[in-house]
């Protein structure tokens, strides 16, 4: 049996903190050393994450113990860099940041962060001391485009995606309130979404010279979790050739699957999977990609990255069943 990895979670009262804790409590090679939350200090973890009743007796702590093997930072954007600038952690402590602080500006002090999309650069993550977890929309869009970029044939992209209310975080906002969200849908951050930067960064690294635009329109959906993205590109390749390209690219990756049948969101909710379906009419290729925004788009991918960083089987603690019905 492998030695237990001691982990700490900072900012653990929100959605991603709760999902990260849920996964780690059931991980065979992990010991949760502490869960920190300034707002909930002293209270049982189950006072906010009621789904964990019977799973843990942990209390939220106000402070954190830096002497752990790995820290998961589940804080608001901007807070991770502030924390690392103000506190010194042992060099041996690895850090996985679920915010956007180091996805583009990948260094603070002596710590350099590797962009944590395993299907893009698994080997670099395996050797990394610090990982910047990708954004949820960024993950779902990129997984739909990586094989084309790797083949050097990606052209201008028109993409739209719909996400559940948990993608906006736990803090109540007008657009996450039930009475607004129910039976409603809206576009937001049209063509300006913050995840575009990391998407361009990856595509240009895979396909040097890529200078085409990625036009992205995100939508708010009337459901709690999951992301459904459709990207439209132009290509002369046949559908069968494209499917083979995708199947070959994702063959070594356990969580991303190319599906020939129609896909739907419930197939991936509560899992770390990404499902991809391809359709083609004329020279237009439609790439459908779906994920759970809180798992493959956040906490699940963070645990996947931890597994790679510590030499564990990539799927440890992540064999989860989708809701499906």
Which residue numbers are catalytic? Answer: 136
Whole-angstrom distance, CA of residue 255 vs CA of residue 273: 5
Output the CA torsion sign for 146, 149, 153, 156. positive
User: SS3 for 8?
Assistant: strand
Residue (of 231, 239, 251, 295) closest to 269 by Cα position: 295
Cβ within 8 Å of residue 69, ≥6 positions away:
5, 6, 7, 92, 93, 94, 310
- For the record, the structure tokens of 219 come out as 């939508």
Whole-angstrom distance, CA of residue 163 vs CA of residue 16: 15
- For the record, the structure tokens of 183 come out as 């039976």
Region for 19 from its dihedrals, namely left if φ exceeds 0, alpha if ψ lies in -120 to 50, beta otherwise: alpha
- Cross-strand partners of 93: none
The length of the chain is 325
Whole-angstrom distance, CA of residue 282 vs CA of residue 270: 35
Whole-angstrom Cα Rg for the chain: 19
**Tokens 């044939």, residue?**
153
- For the record, the structure tokens of 279 come out as 């359709």
User: CB of 56 within 8 A of CB of 45?
Assistant: yes
Pairing of strands 70-73, 94-97: parallel
**Tokens 């809701």, residue?**
323
Strands in 60-61's sheet, in edge-to-edge order, are 60-61, 30-36, 5-10, 70-73, 94-97, 130-132, 114-115
Whole-angstrom distance, CA of residue 139 vs CA of residue 250: 14
């Amino acid at each position: 049996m492998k030695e237990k990895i001691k982990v700490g979670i900072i900012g653990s009262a929100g959605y991603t903190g709760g999902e990260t804790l849920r996964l780690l409590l059931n991980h065979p090679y992990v010991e949760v050393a502490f869960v920190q939350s300034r707002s909930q200090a002293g209270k049982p973890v189950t006072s906010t994450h009621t789904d964990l009743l019977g799973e843990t007796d942990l209390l939220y702590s106000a402070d954190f113990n830096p002497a752990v093997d790995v820290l998961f930072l589940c804080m608001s954007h901007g807070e991770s860099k502030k924390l690392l600038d103000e506190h010194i952690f042992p060099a041996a402590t690895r850090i996985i940041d679920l915010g956007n602080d180091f996805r583009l500006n990948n260094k603070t002090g002596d710590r350099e962060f590797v962009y944590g999309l395993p299907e893009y650069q698994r080997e670099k993550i395996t050797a990394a001391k610090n990982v910047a977890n990708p954004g949820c929309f960024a993950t779902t869009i990129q997984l739909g485009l990586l094989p084309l970029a790797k083949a050097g044939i990606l052209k201008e992209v028109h993409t739209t995606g719909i996400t559940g209310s948990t993608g906006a975080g736990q803090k109540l906002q007008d657009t996450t309130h039930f009475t607004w969200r129910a039976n409603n849908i809206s576009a937001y951050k049209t063509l300006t979404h913050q995840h575009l930067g990391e998407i361009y960064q990856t595509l240009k690294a895979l396909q040097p010279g890529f200078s085409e635009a990625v036009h992205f329109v995100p939508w708010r959906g009337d459901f709690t979790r999951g992301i459904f993205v459709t990207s439209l590109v132009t290509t002369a390749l046949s559908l069968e050739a494209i499917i083979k390209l995708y199947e070959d690219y994702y063959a070594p990756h356990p969580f991303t699957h190319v599906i020939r049948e129609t896909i739907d969101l419930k197939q991936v909710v509560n899992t770390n999977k990404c499902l991809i379906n391809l359709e083609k009419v004329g020279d237009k290729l439609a790439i459908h990609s779906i994920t759970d925004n809180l798992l493959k788009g956040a906490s699940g991918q963070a645990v996947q990255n931890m597994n790679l960083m510590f030499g564990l089987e990539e799927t440890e603690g992540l064999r989860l069943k989708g809701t499906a019905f």
